[in-house]
């Protein structure tokens, strides 16, 4: 069974912190961010090389926003477009600030728990899926 959620963020909200707060407040143990649309005044996006972070000034239109949700961690990828239509994307970092509004659609998987465990191969805390029905 799945439970749908929707949330509107307001000007000045930090996108990543607001998502994590929502997940914790609603006791979502395993979830997915299905979509997000809106505008940011600032964006911090970690690139694929794991070291470089883009610091972008807005307004920036959110093009895509998706990822996994756990009570301890939200793993979200984002792409944004600037006023010239140039698109930037990567890992959502704290410091992505809502400009006007952002609309989020999420779902919780009630039969699952998502956890994170350190993986020595990747050197990151990676997703572990626990099926509560087994």
Provide the residue-wise pLDDT of the chain in tens; the chain has 134 residues: 899 999 999 999 999 999 999 999 999 999 999 999 999 999 999 998 778 999 999 899 999 999 999 999 999 999 999 999 999 999 999 999 999 999 999 999 999 999 999 999 988 889 999 998 87
Question: What pTM value is reported for the model?
Answer: 0.90
Read off the pLDDT of residues 68-93 as tens digits, 9 standing for 90 and up. Answer: 999 999 999 999 999 999 999 999 99
Spatial contact of 87 and 61, defined as CB atoms under 8 Å apart:
no
Which three-class secondary structure state does DSSP give residue 60? strand
Residues 6+ apart with CB under 8 A from 49: none
3-state secondary structure 67-92: EEECCCCEEEEEEEECCCCCEEEEEE
């Amino acid at each position: 069974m799945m439970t749908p959620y929707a949330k509107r963020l307001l000007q000045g909200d930090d996108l990543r912190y607001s998502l994590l707060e929502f997940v914790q407040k609603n006791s979502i143990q395993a979830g997915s961010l299905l979509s997000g649309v809106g505008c940011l005044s600032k964006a911090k996006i970690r690139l694929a090389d794991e070291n470089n972070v883009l610091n972008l000034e807005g307004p920036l239109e959110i093009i895509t926003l998706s990822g996994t949700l756990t009570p301890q961690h939200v793993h979200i990828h984002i792409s944004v477009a600037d006023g010239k239509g140039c698109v930037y994307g990567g890992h959502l970092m704290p410091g992505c600030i809502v400009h006007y509004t952002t609309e989020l659609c999420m779902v919780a998987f009630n039969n699952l728990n998502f956890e994170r465990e350190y993986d020595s191969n990747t050197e990151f805390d990676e997703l572990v899926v626990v099926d509560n029905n087994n």
